[in-house]
Amino acid sequence: MPNEQPAPINGLTPFNAEDPTTHRWSDLPHYKGVSTVGCVDRDDIGSWLSGPGVARDTESASDYAGQRLGLPESGAGSAAPWGLRIGAIFIDWFVALGITLAVVGQPAEGDPGFSLIVLGVFALEYVVLLYTAGRTLGMVATGLRVLPVGRNNLGIGFVLLRTFLLALVLPAVVYDRDRRGFHDRAGRTVVVRSR
């Protein structure tokens, strides 16, 4: 029942910005007398991904991923699309898996330590290749490169932080409009197309 109206709460219909007959939380009886001065609605601050103080209506239709960073809209140097980034990670994971199988051999049935070894090899590959070449084997295959933001080189500390957060997976799926995951923002990097 997608068009069904929500049930009234204390005789008031829950707030709906598109329906002027509904009420805000401050109109509910248990909030009577509570000052709403200084309170802000989500519409006042925009999306939590866009950062504090950025209202949604300030983003125009002409904005594109990477524009705020001075990247071109398309071609070499533009913000990398998610499909290529995910493809690069899969390639790097299979390289790490292959190296682990070659060195350690076939894992025992139900061995949880094997996955941690693969993750360690994956992280080592990322740190060594990003710090020395600015790209991993998967990034070379998919035509991507990692660039520093606001400085001249990647720096080992930022590479270690970025790799640690990437290994946690969750920060990689939290991203902004420039297609920078939390691990990119913390590591002060951006992934771009190299061709």
Which position has the higher pLDDT, 55 or 136?
Answer: 136
Residue 137 one-letter amino acid: L
Residue with tokens 């360690």: 120
Confidence of residue 7 (pLDDT cuts 50, 70, 90): low
Q: What is the pTM of this model?
A: 0.65
Instruction: State the Cα–Cα distance between residues 66 and 77, nearest whole angstrom.
Output: 9
pLDDT digits (tens, 9 = 90+) for 148-164: 888 888 889 999 998 99
- Report in angstroms the alpha-carbon separations of 167 from 32, 65, 119, 171: 48, 24, 7, 9
DSSP string, 40-105: --HHHH--GGG-TT--GGGS-TT--TTGGGT--SSSTTSBPPHHHHHHHHHHHHHHHHHHHHHHH-
pLDDT at 188: 85
Instruction: State the Cα–Cα distance between residues 24 and 120, nearest whole angstrom.
Output: 50
Q: Taking 80 as the threshold, does the pLDDT of residue 24 lie above it? A: no
CA 43 to chain centre: 22
Instruction: State the Cα–Cα distance between residues 158 and 126, nearest whole angstrom.
Output: 12
Nearest to 165 by CA among 179, 178, 152, 175: 175
